[in-house]
Amino acid sequence: MDLLNFIPTLGGMGNASSNSLMTMDGGYKPRLVEPGIESYVKGTLKQCKQFKNQYSNVMYNIIMFSVFIGVFGIILFVKFKGKMTKGEKRKRNRDKQHYILSKLQQMNAIRSKPNGRMITDLPNWNEHPEKEILNRFR
């Protein structure tokens, strides 16, 4: 007699799980895990997968919502702070005009120096004192 023929199964001989344990020659296949434990582990794994999917979906939604709020806030901040008010525009134009006028006044002051000197305040070659001394001895 074969020892495998005497392995008891849950549910008796007539249910579908016992039929899947039978081999072609009428014997039983050896099983390392009982069918009840196998279904319990499968159910537990399904619950773990559902929990993981739900948790990852919630985290993904939270992260995407915070990214959306961040981008939306930055766009609004740039739009709000990017535009100058009328008073700021007038002040900036006034500062530009003041800067240009001050530079023009500086250039006029340099050009209108006495004795027609150049911008660098270097003496003219004709007005050089050593040249006058050399011209006397010729």
Distance CA 124, CA 116 (A): 10
Helix (H, G, I), strand (E, B) or coil at 22: strand
Q: 8-42 b/e with 16+ CB inside 10 Å = b?
A: ebeeeeeeeebeeeeeeeeebeeeeeebeeeeeee
- State the chain's mean pLDDT as an integer: 78
Rounded mean pLDDT, 89-96: 93
Q: Which of 49, 45, 48, 29 is nearest to 37 (CA)?
A: 45
pLDDT of residue 64: 96
pLDDT of residue 83: 78
Distance CA 82, CA 85 (A): 10
**Residue in the structure block whose two tokens are 């990214």:** 67
The predicted model scores a pTM of: 0.38
Distance CA 102, CA 89 (A): 20
Check whether 27 has a pLDDT greater than 70: yes
Check whether 68 has a pLDDT greater than 90: yes
Residue 12: band (very low, low, confident or very high) from pLDDT cuts 50, 70, 90: very low
Distance CA 97, CA 90 (A): 11
Domain ranges of the chain: 1-32, 34-83, 85-138
pLDDT digits (tens, 9 = 90+) for 29-67: 777 888 788 889 989 999 999 999 999 999 999 999 999
Rounded mean pLDDT, 6-12: 47
pLDDT of residue 15: 45
Distance CA 36, CA 99 (A): 90
